[in-house]
Structure 1
C-alpha cells in the first residue's frame, strides 16, 4: 500500500500530514511555505509512495465556499498540471483550526508553543486526514 497525504492549504503556510504505508496512522509531517509547496510535494512523491492526496475544503457556516477556495483552486490547477495522474479528494475542513488549537491545549502545550501557527496548520492537516480515515 501507499501513503495518503493531506493538505491544509493556506495562502502563507500549508500544513501537511501523511499516513503510514498501511494507512492506519495519521501523523503530522510538516508545514511548508505555500510558495514552496509544489517543489516540496515533487520531492516527497519521488521519495515516498503516495496513492491519494486529500485537500481541505473550507466552507462558510451556510455551506458555501469560503474566500480561500479561490486560492485552493489556483493551487489545484498547478497541482494537476504537475501531477496529472495523482488522485485528489476534497475533505471538509470545518473547524479543524479550532480543533487543532484545542488539541494543543489538551496535550499540555505551553501558551508560547500554542501561538505557533505552523504547528496549528500541521495539526489541522492531521485532523483532515483522520476525518477521512476514520469515517
Structure 2
C-alpha cells in the first residue's frame, strides 16, 4: 500500500450509529464510513442491545452514537425518558470511548409509517413494528446528517 493510500485510510471517519430505543425493541441505523448516507441496519430485542453493540464496535469503527431523546410536544421529557437515561448511563460505562448524543425523535414513528405507505408496502408489512423502529432510527440519523452538513 502506498503511503498516500495509507494516510487516507487512517484519516477515514468512523460511522455514526442511531438508536431508536424502546422498552421491548430497538431500531438501529448507521452511516457509511464517509457519513453521507443513513441506512437502516436492524431491529433487535432491547435486552440484547449492549451485547450487540459490543460485537458491532469490535468490527466497525463508530465515531458517534445518536439516541432518540423522547420529548413531549411542549419540550418536556416523555414518560420513556428515565428508561433511555438509564440505558445512556450503562452505555457510557460500557463504551467510554464512544461519544453518545441525544437527538429529538418526535414524529419519527409517524414519519416512518408514512414512508412505508409511500414506498408501497402492503398493510400487513406496515404493521411490522420492528421495521417502523428501524426506519425511525434511519430518519433520526438522516435528519442529523442533514443538519450537520448544513452548518
Q: TM-score range by the shorter chain?
A: over 0.9
TM-score, with length taken from structure 1: 0.99
User: Any stretches of 5+ residues in structure 2 without a counterpart?
Assistant: 1-12
| 1:123 aligned residue | 135
Residue matched to 1:82: 94
RMSD of aligned C-alpha atoms? 0.5
Higher RCO, Cα 8 Å, sep 6+: 1
Pick the aligned partner of 1:62 from 74, 77, 81. Answer: 74
1:72 aligns with 2:84: yes
Runs (4+) off by over 2 Å:
none
Q: How many residues matched?
A: 135
Deviates more, 1:69-78 or 1:99-108: 69-78
Deviations 1:1-60 (A, max 9, x none): 110000000000000000000001000000010000000000000000100000011101
Q: If the length of structure 2 is used for normalisation, what is the TM-score?
A: 0.88
User: Rg bigger for which structure?
Assistant: 2
Residue from 8, 14, 23 that aligns with 1:11:
23
Structure 1 runs not aligned, ≥5 long: none
